Amino acid sequence: MDYDVKDKTVIITGGSEGVGAATARLFASHGANLVLVARGKRKLERIAEELRDKTKVEIMAMDVSDADACANIYKKADFEFGSVDILINNAGYHERGSVESVAANDLAAMIDVNLKAPILLCKLAVRYMKEAGGGAIINVGSLAGRIPVPGAATYSASKFGLRAFTFALGAELKDSGIKLAVVSPGTILTGFITSNIDAVSDLNFSQPIVTAEDVAQEILNLVSNNKREVALPRASGYLTTLSYIFPGLFKLLRPYLLKKGRRVKRQIKAELHQAEEEQGT
């Protein structure tokens, strides 16, 4: 399937930084019209200003867990650009820690942002995409949605749910011309990780680190190809599949992975500390 995104209308949630901003830059370079959604207006304005030399950009500062505001995204996109062609559900929330230690409001917020909001946004997108004659919905999952992750149980559950929803909705819409797919990345060195790196499980660092640009490229690829899912890095995707099928394998590998992850995490923390000192001088 060959799908040219030039002049297509692309909605990107969590579009102000990290994977969302990298995806916005990539789609802008291909001439897509952008509607960028995030909570922080100032960061949205910065990325929009950066990209307006390349393409048309609209922004909406809002919380994706607000159902009424979600409906307004589509009204704005349709009014400004005349269609809705691609939805990228990238916004995410993660409060790290055991279920027992995380506040109830934060547990609920992870489900609201990571699962309920994408479900609603997908539902709203379908009507507009059918009117446009087709389109694509790419949901940003996680390797934590492919294998249970202790210390991130609710986040893991929300990403498992998003992955399952993607496949099920894709089956419902198989004859509609609307493509459904999920990208499942491992650890990405964005503020999502580095802002509270000590709370991130050592397991996260036992696999190769991917970049926001890596994920953005796979999102663009998924719009056009016939794949339902891409896991990044590829080797970790295979490992999560094997570990899910054979739980004893993960139990066997866990001590080795934790040891490796601790070593890599220390190195990353040292590099971040050095970078902060250089910026301060």
Question: Annotated catalytic sites, by residue?
Answer: 155
Distance CA 141, CA 144 (A): 8
Residue 84 CA, chain-centre distance (Å), reads 19
Element (DSSP H or E) covering residue 259: helix 247-280
Show the tokens assigned to 173.
């819409």
Distance CA 10, CA 30 (A): 11
Show the tokens assigned to 275.
């970078």
Show the tokens assigned to 56.
């048309």
Q: How many CA atoms lie within 13 A of 86 on its CB side?
A: 27
Q: How many CA atoms lie within 13 A of 15 on its CB side?
A: 33
Q: Which of 215, 131, 226, 231 is nearest to 179 (CA)?
A: 226
Distance CA 162, CA 119 (A): 8
Q: Which of 37, 94, 36 is nearest to 66 (CA)?
A: 37
Q: How many CA atoms lie within 13 A of 53 on its CB side?
A: 4
In this structure, which amino acid lies at residue 91?
A
Proportion of the chain in helix, strand, coil states, percent, rounded to 5: 55, 15, 30
In 3-state terms, what secondary structure has residue 185?
strand
